[in-house]
Amino acid sequence: MAGKVIANLKKTAYYLKRNGVKKTWYAVRERLHAEGAQGYGVCELTREEWNRQRDESAGWDITFSVLVPAYRTKEAYLRDMLNSLLEQSYLHWELVLADATEDDSVKTVVSSYEDDRIRYVKLENNAGISENTNQGLVSVTGAYVGLLDHDDVLTTDALYEMAKAIREGRNRGMDLQMLYSDEDKCNGDMSEFYDPNFKEDFNPDMLLSNNYICHFLVMKKELIESLRFRPAYDGAQDFDLVLRAMAQLYDRQEQIYHISKVLYHWRCHQASTAENPQSKLYAYEAGCRAIQDYADKQGWRAHVEETPHLGFYRLVYENGIFANRERVGAVGGPVFYKDKIQSGRMDEDGNVYYEGTHKYYSGYLHRAVLSQTAVAVDIRNIRVREECRQLFEQAVGVPYRTLPQEEIFDSSTLPKGCDYVALSLAVCKALKTAGYEIVYMP
């Protein structure tokens, strides 16, 4: 795993420079502990399963345009990318490769492939990643557009899984607008695969903390054409795109679908953000600006701050979140026991996210320290909007009293021996039924 070791050493050195010895010490301890706890391996499709998928989907009418902006792409990487499309178990796709390379090096490689689904578009000049992609977008014909970087690859079942999800959505009367999958990283020669990103289903506040959606992203053609890419956000153009898509689909979140399977391999090499975080610091700055733009357009008085972790952010609201977001009914934080998270964000069954995480650790992909939309939060560390406190009292059975000089509920007023989980679920269910959102803000 030499590639992964080198990448981690570079990240650690840069983290130390940004955040100091103490935070780096805990970050390294957490990383080593996580790596020792579990391994990761790629599961390749068997030939039998690949054939089954191809036979099953042969008559499906869902079409994809995979859009790839290329610029001076290394031949080996380009061929890997092209081959990953040609090896798809799903047939109904086209590749639109928008090439801004000054010479014919990319064109020469593409010309060696005899498949009319590969469409080469020569751009007159290199106008930057966003504008290059926009020029390629003009040529797409598929009902859905998938975004693929020129040095990355798809798994052989990537388009099949996307088409299957779209078909299943149709059967439920749902016209899916945006889909995304899990992903992992690989080294330059694709001999090592690591750092899988097993993602959550769509979570608006987590997206305002980090572009966790990332790859493999597929959008309805009309949606991506209406949004297009904005050159001012080059480096974080996909993040900006997804945030603006979220703004359009916020009241139709059921049309955003997560496929909980790794369908994308993000290649790490010296020039990539994945391996060398300093190679594209402007990308993280652009991500900060993309979140700020989203907040400004919502009319929120808030500013974006970077966290100790590159690419991860927090929104700080002037006069608090309730003064800016009228939909938010409650905010919760973690409950610690012996320096570890005992409770905090919960699912509908009362299971605790990040349980057992040390208070100085950031959790899997730093999610334990990010703001995120929640189904429920623990009543022992909750703040409730003033207009919602009557609902709180009806669900809990005691008045909403706060701790001295704070808005946090004073849980000492609850009866001894009460079921904190049941009360937490009850009050959060009441708030959500009334149309309010709940945010976990550690």
In a domain, 312, yes or no: no
Q: What confidence tens digit (pLDDT) does each residue in 366-397 have? A: 999 999 999 999 999 999 999 999 999 999 99
In a domain, 303, yes or no: no
Residue type, 386: E
Q: Do 152 and 236 reside in the same domain of the chain? A: yes
Q: Do 102 and 22 reside in the same domain of the chain? A: no
Q: Which of 189, 135, 162, 134 is nearest to 264 (CA)?
A: 162
In a domain, 295, yes or no: no
Number of compact structural domains in the chain: 3
What pLDDT, on a 0 to 100 scale, did the predictor assign at position 280?
A: 75
How is 40-70 classified by DSSP, letter by letter? Answer: ----PPPHHHHHHHHHHHTT----EEEEEEE
- Cα gap 110→75, rounded to integer Å: 10
Q: Which of 372, 366, 368, 379 is nearest to 428 (CA)?
A: 379
Q: Which two tokens stand for residue 55?
A: 């036979």
Q: Residue 90 is part of which domain span?
A: 47-283
Q: With contact defined as beta carbons under 8 Å apart, do 263 and 182 qualify?
A: yes
CA 204 remoteness from chain centre: 10
**For range 112-127, the mean pLDDT:** 96
DSSP state of 390: H
Q: Do 74 and 28 reside in the same domain of the chain? A: no
In a domain, 436, yes or no: yes
Residues 6+ apart with CB under 8 A from 162: 64, 90, 144, 146, 179, 181, 216, 218, 259, 263
Q: Do 29 and 82 reside in the same domain of the chain? A: no
Q: Do 236 and 197 reside in the same domain of the chain? A: yes
Residues 6+ apart with CB under 8 A from 409: 379, 380, 382, 383, 384, 392, 400, 401, 402, 403
Q: Do 77 and 216 reside in the same domain of the chain? A: yes
In a domain, 309, yes or no: no
Mean pLDDT (the chain, rounded): 92
Q: With contact defined as beta carbons under 8 Å apart, do 270 and 281 qualify?
A: no
In a domain, 117, yes or no: yes
Three-class SS state of 369: helix
Q: Do 79 and 17 reside in the same domain of the chain? A: no
Q: Do 64 and 22 reside in the same domain of the chain? A: no
Q: Do 166 and 246 reside in the same domain of the chain? A: yes
Check which CATH number belongs to the domain holding 145 and give it.
Answer: 3.90.550.10
Q: pLDDT confidence of 36, banded at 50, 70, 90?
A: very low
Q: Which residue has the higher pLDDT, 310 or 147?
A: 147
In a domain, 413, yes or no: yes
Q: Residue 22: which H helix or E strand, with range?
A: helix 2-37
Q: Do 359 and 339 reside in the same domain of the chain? A: yes
- b/e 367-390 (16+ beta carbons within 10 angstroms → b): bbbbbbbbbbbbbbbbbbbeebbe
Residue type, 73: T
Q: What confidence tens digit (pLDDT) does each residue in 307-335 have? A: 988 999 999 999 999 999 999 999 999 99
- Cα gap 283→68, rounded to integer Å: 19
User: Cβ of 100: how many Cβ atoms within 10 Å?
Assistant: 22
Q: pLDDT confidence of 44, banded at 50, 70, 90?
A: confident
Is the predicted pLDDT of residue 414 greater than 60, yes or no?
Answer: yes
Q: Do 373 and 422 reside in the same domain of the chain? A: yes
Q: Do 259 and 117 reside in the same domain of the chain? A: yes
What pLDDT, on a 0 to 100 scale, did the predictor assign at position 112?
A: 97
Q: Distances from the Cα of 442 to the Cαs of 151, 228, 377, 378, 383, in angstroms? A: 36, 34, 11, 12, 12
In a domain, 289, yes or no: no
